[in-house]
């Protein structure tokens, strides 16, 4: 039976491969008569079988195929020559790619600009406006009386403004889509050595094919899955895939399976590639990780907030329409005519109120704010893969950090030593003679398999092989740099010359039983041999009978010296250092006559070195900053508890006098669920931990209401990185899987970069609050003004459809951009985290919104009802002209007040709103651009026939001065608002919200089950808040909650259409949520999706 199997997993599509299913008992084989490709190239093994073989580590499948050589034959390759002969032809290579795939990943194409434009028209309000505008356009152009008064221009203007908004939104979404694709693409195309036709060729990892014979040496990364063919002392470090730090020896019998994404730690060898791309182990994991970014807690809360605010806007729009209709019916009954076009005008005005009332500018504000923060964070060595992670990091309360590479330098280094009976804590020792330094360097270089390599791109020295041996080789470099040991000058590393000068005669490798390694060389004197030995300090030191002093002399090693050496070993180990004893002995035995067992007797002690991975110079300061910002820093490491505790104290994570729990992974795993919950946020060091422990810790902390961030570098850290609110992967030490799973890549592996991420995250959250404060004033004033005008019987509303859409557009887009690009203040790191439940609109914001809205509404109403007298407009034309001119003044004054309100919104509680404004060139430019655009609109469009047709006209200089002066009045009003007692206003302060959140967290810790926790954090809290509210708000809130319950379904439908217009679903469900983002105890009738 022929089967075509198109497979789509996650974000990847695999090509269709035609294969034939046969009853062959060999599960790895296809019959030669049926297998193959359309090009005539026959493959006797399927891609699926090879994938199963590697995934299950199933050696029986390999045996059935005839072992490594049989498998090579079925793959049409050779274990010596690799792909050769006709297999290297273009057709053959392409057929191989078709059968087994490419070593790369296929992403779905990004959404096109036209598709995003079409999606933007899913907004229900946009659709209603377009239909109404088209009807208006048809009547205005088709009815002669309306056509003569340019009645069609309003319809054209509405359609033009709507199209502009749609194109703007589509453009922003398109650039964001492209950026996501760029960030999601795997940039890992390194060089690989393959054998083709018997010769070694360098190709990129993406060009590797199934059947290729790949050459690997220590330090190389395995580009694809494969089967080991041959090698010498060949070991792979599979920690990136399995989490096991032990190097695993590879051979054709016990473990021939090579896994993509792992690295070679020792030796050299060859493998045959069996699985590439999406079928490799690396690719299988990658498929599950590359997905479209989801929403963050803040975005979900904003969805609910949009609906909550929209409830009141829709109510005002409905009432405005009803008031206008009642007035129209009364006028018609009184003989003033039944102009049906007025109903269309009422509908347009009401829908426009809905457009303004629902703050859909919030998504733009978030997108712009996060994009700006992302660019700035890139300069701080933070590559943001998910824009939303910026704001989430600002709310982080917990940081679970890796030790190696994040807190420390990820470079084993000799930091302490005991030489010649003296303790040294500065390397290299300053009093070391050339003779001593030369002997020490010789022992470190010769008795080692490790190597150093310069990474020009990263500007660092890579350690290849044993990290402990690399630390000793680095000590040799330090000795040469200090002028010790008479090392010859060279462009290469110092150890290279030493090894070339001393050929190895015999090597006695390290074993777990011997716990030491020795290497014999020909004696420099030409008579006999010299044996260099290093190993476990407590063992090797007992084999010594002599000791070389730092001046180069050799003395007897007495019992008192042994006691001193053991004391030094204990002292260094107690501070978390790994100790190593170095010694040598000169033998009379010729190099060729050395025995099989190492002659390790009567050694001469060179010294005992203390090795550790030192903390980064900036770690302590970064931890201090994070702790000062209220972020709990926790070390999660696989190291033993002694080393972990010493590093934690050095880094400032553990501080004397503070509560800080130190636990080991095995103890943590044996705890009950309740015990784990009780210690989840108290732990400061979790030693001997596994990746599963880290994932458990993250889930526990999130369940307790914490906003959790995690660092990781291995593939096995991917689940914790994905589960955390913000996952940080190490850019240098991290695997590609870890980078794909994370939200932010720390390019320099530095914890200080995380402190900067916290600062920028808080700035994003603060910017969103500033925009909300600004936007709420616009909404309240615009909606209230038109509603009052309609109720008062004013036919031509002061803010007509086009001016309102214009205000909505420039205030949303320009205002969002201005407030989102404000640089962060260092003061943000002096406050506690916002946390998961901080209200988006706090008490200080309500104070500013209420006072500013009151001022602006009073000004507009005074102009509306007394403007004709105040501005002396009565005798300047007919009634329509006077109303048009007055509405133009109101429109212009309204915009000017928003300009200065925008300046006020730079600060929420601080008085100095102009502080550091000179450091915000983007903000200043946008304010200037907004004013210039308004001038062009009033004076340019207002002088044409279009202006009067859509609701405004040009103004005189006096009217301009009036508008600007009233607008500047927003500044002193803002100052007065900030001086008012905060207790006069509704809402919650951040401190009150934080206190409630802590109480909720304690309640969750005491809960017996997850259902009880959820109940404690949801409806009951809302009820308590309402019961404890001030008496004067009680009745109002009861009425408002009933009203929102009634209007929420309608608002939800409109809000859903707006979100679909931006290509994403609305993250809300029916029912009260656990957060109170308005801080008023008012239910939206909805809650964030879970």
User: Known catalytic residues?
Assistant: 402
What are 603's two structure tokens?
């050694």
> What's the CA gap between 194 and 158, in Å, rounded?
64
The beta-strand segments (E) located in 342-412 are 382-384, 398-401
Cα end-to-end span (Å), the chain: 45
**How far is Cα 19 from Cα 47, in angstroms, rounded to an integer?**
10
Q: Report yes or no: 727 and 741 within 8 Å, Cβ to Cβ.
A: yes
Residue 331 CB-half CA count within 13 A: 16
DSSP-assigned states of every residue in 236-305: EE-HHHH---SEEE--SSS--EE-TT-EEEEEEEEEEEEE-GGGSHHHHHHHHH-------HHHHHHHHH
**Helices in 940-969 by DSSP H: which ranges?**
946-950, 957-968
**Rounded distance between C-alpha atoms, residue 184 and residue 841, angstroms:** 34
Cα separation, 1045 vs 1070, in Å, equals 10
Strand blocks (E) in 498-569: 504-508, 516-522, 529-535, 544-548, 554-556
Neighbour-count burial of 615, counting CB atoms closer than 10 A to its CB (0-12 exposed, 13-18 middle, 19+ buried): buried
146-160: burial string, b at 16+ Cβ within 10 Å, e else: eeeebbbbbbbbbbe
Q: Residue 174: how many CB atoms within 10 A of its CB?
A: 18
Both structure tokens of 787: 């509603």
225 DSSP β-pair partners:
275
Alpha-carbon gap, residue 313 to 354, rounded angstroms: 6
Task: Tell me how far apart the alpha carbons of residues 542 and 540 are, in angstroms, rounded to a whole number.
Answer: 5
Eight-class DSSP state of 63: H
Token pair of 965 as six digits: 């002066």
If phi over 0 gives left and psi between -120 and 50 gives alpha, with beta otherwise, what is residue 919? Answer: alpha
Distance CA 123, CA 354 (A): 12
Q: Is 987 left (phi over 0), alpha (psi -120 to 50) or beta?
A: left
* Spatial separation of the C-alpha atoms in residues 711 and 741, rounded to whole Å: 11
Residues contacting 134, CB < 8 A, separation 6+? 155, 159
Cβ pair 725, 708 in contact under 8 A: yes
**Cβ 402 vs Cβ 636: under 8 Å:** yes
Q: Which residues of 733-765 are buried (b: 16+ CB within 10 A; e: fewer)?
A: bbbbbbbbbbbbbbbebbbbbbbbbbbbbbbbb
Across-strand partners of 228? 271
Residue pair 246/204 in contact (Cβ under 8 Å)? The answer is: no
């Amino acid at each position: 039976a022929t089967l075509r199997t198109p497979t789509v997993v996650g974000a990847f599509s695999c090509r269709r491969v035609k294969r034939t299913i046969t009853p062959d008992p060999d599960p790895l084989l296809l019959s030669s008569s049926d297998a193959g490709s359309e090009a005539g190239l026959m493959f006797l093994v399927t891609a699926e079988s090879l994938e199963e073989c590697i995934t299950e580590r199933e050696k029986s499948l390999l045996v059935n195929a005839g072992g490594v050589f049989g498998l090579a034959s079925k793959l049409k390759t050779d274990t010596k020559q690799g792909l050769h002969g006709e297999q290297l032809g273009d057709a053959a290579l392409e057929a191989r790619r078709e059968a087994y795939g490419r070593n790369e990943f296929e992403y779905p194409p990004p959404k096109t600009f036209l598709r995003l434009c079409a999606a933007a028209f899913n907004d229900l309000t946009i659709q209603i406006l377009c239909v109404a505008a088209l009807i208006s356009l048809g009547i205005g152009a088709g009815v002669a009386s309306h056509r003569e008064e340019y009645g069609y221009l309003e319809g054209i203007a509405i359609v033009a403004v709507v199209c502009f908004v749609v194109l703007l939104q589509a453009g922003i979404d398109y650039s964001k889509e492209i950026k996501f694709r760029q960030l999601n693409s795997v940039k890992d195309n390194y060089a690989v050595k393959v054998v083709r036709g018997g010769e070694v060729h360098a190709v990129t990892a993406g060009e590797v094919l199934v059947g290729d014979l790949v050459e690997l040496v220590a330090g190389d990364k395995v580009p694809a899955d494969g089967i080991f063919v041959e090698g010498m002392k060949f070991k792979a470090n599979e920690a990136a895939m399995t989490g096991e730090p032990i190097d695993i020896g590879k051979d054709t019998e016990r473990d021939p399976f090579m896994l993509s994404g792992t690295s070679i730690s020792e030796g050299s060898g060859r493998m045959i590639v069996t699985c590439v791309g999406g079928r490799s182990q690396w690719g299988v994991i990658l498929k599950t990780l590359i997905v479209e970014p989801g929403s963050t807690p803040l975005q979900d809360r904003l969805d609910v907030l949009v609906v909550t605010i929209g409830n009141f806007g829709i109510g005002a729009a409905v009432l405005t329409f009803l008031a206008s209709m009642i007035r129209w019916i009364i006028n018609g009954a009184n003989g003033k005519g039944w102009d049906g076009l007025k109903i269309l005008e009422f509908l347009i005005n009401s829908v426009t109120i809905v457009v303004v009332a629902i703050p859909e500018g919030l998504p733009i504000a978030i997108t712009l704010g996060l994009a700006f923060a992302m660019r700035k964070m890139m300069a701080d060595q933070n590559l943001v893969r998910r824009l939303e992670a910026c704001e989430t990091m600002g709310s982080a309360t917990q940081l679970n950090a890796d030790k190696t590479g994040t807190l420390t330098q990820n470079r084993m280094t000799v930091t302490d030593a005991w030489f010649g009976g003296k303790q040294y804590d500065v390397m290299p020792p300053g009093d070391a003679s050339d003779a001593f330094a030369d002997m020490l360097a010789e022992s470190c270089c010769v008795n080692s398999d490790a190597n150093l390599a310069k990474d020009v791109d990263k500007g660092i020295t890579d350690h290849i092989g044993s990290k402990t041996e690399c630390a000793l080789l680095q000590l040799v470099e330090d000795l040469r740099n200090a002028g010790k040991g008479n090392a010859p000058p060279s462009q290469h590393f110092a150890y290279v010359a030493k090894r070339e000068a001393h050929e190895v005669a015999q090597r006695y490798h390290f074993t777990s039983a011997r716990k030491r390694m020795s290497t014999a060389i020909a004696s420099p004197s030409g008579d006999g041999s010299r044996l260099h030995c290093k190993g476990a300090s407590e063992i090797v030191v007992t084999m010594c009978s002599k000791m070389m002093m730092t001046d180069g002399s050799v003395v007897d090693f007495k019992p008192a010296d042994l006691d001193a050496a053991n004391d030094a070993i204990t002292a260094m180990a107690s501070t978390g250092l790994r100790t190593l004893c170095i010694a040598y002995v000169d033998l009379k035995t010729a190099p060729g006559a050395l025995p099989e067992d190492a002659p390790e007797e009567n050694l001469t002690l060179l010294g005992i070195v203390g090795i550790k991975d030192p903390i980064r110079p900036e770690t302590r300061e970064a931890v201090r900053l994070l702790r000062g910002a209220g972020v709990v820093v926790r070390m999660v490491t696989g190291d033993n508890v002694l080393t972990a505790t010493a590093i934690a104290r050095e880094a400032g994570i553990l501080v004397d006098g503070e509560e800080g729990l130190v636990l080991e992974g095995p103890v943590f795993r044996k705890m009950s669920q309740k015990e784990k919950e009780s210690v989840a946020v108290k732990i400061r060091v979790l030693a001997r931990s596994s990746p599963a422990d880290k994932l458990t810790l993250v889930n526990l902390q999130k369940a307790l209401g914490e906003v959790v961030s995690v660092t990781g570098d291995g593939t096995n850290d991917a689940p914790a990185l994905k589960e955390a609110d913000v996952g940080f992967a190490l850019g240098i030490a991290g695997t590609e899987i870890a980078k794909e799973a994370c939200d932010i890549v720390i390019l320099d592996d530095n914890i200080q970069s995380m402190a900067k991420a916290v600062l920028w995250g808080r700035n994003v959250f603060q910017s969103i609050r500033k925009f909300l404060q600004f936007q709420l004033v616009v909404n309240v004033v615009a909606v209230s003004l038109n509603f009052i005008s309609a109720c008062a019987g004013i036919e031509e509303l002061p803010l007509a459809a086009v001016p309102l859409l214009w205000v909505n557009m420039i205030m949303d887009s320009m205002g969002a951009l201005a407030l989102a690009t404000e640089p962060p203040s260092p003061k943000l790191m002096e406050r506690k985290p916002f946390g998961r439940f901080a209200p988006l609109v706090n008490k200080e914001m309500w104070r500013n919104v209420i006072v500013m809205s009151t001022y602006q509404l009073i000004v507009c109403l005074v102009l509306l009802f007394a403007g004709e007298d105040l501005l002396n407009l009565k005798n300047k034309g007919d009634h329509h002209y006077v109303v048009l001119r007055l509405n133009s003044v109101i429109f212009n004054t309204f915009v000017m007040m928003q300009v200065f309100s925008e300046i006020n919104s730079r600060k929420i509680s601080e008085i100095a709103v102009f502080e550091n404004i000179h450091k915000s060139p983007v903000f200043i430019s946008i304010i200037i651009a907004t004013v210039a655009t308004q001038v062009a609109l009033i004076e340019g469009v207002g002088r044409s026939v279009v202006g009067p047709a859509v609701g405004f006209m040009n103004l005189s200089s006096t009217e301009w001065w009036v508008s600007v002066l009233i607008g500047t009045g927003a500044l002193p009003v803002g100052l007065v608002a900030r001086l008012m007692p905060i207790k006069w206003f509704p809402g919650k302060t951040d401190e009150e919200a934080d206190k409630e959140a802590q109480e909720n967290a304690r309640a969750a810790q005491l809960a017996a089950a997850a259902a009880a926790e959820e109940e404690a954090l949801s409806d009951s809290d809302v009820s308590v808040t309402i019961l404890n509210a001030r008496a004067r708000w009680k009745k109002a809130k009861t009425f408002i909650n009933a009203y929102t319950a009634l209007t929420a379904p309608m608002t939800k439908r409109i809000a859903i259409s707006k979100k679909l217009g931006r290509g994403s679903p609305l993250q809300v469900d029916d029912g009260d949520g656990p957060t109170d983002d308005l801080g008023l105890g008012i239910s939206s009738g909805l809650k964030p999706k879970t």
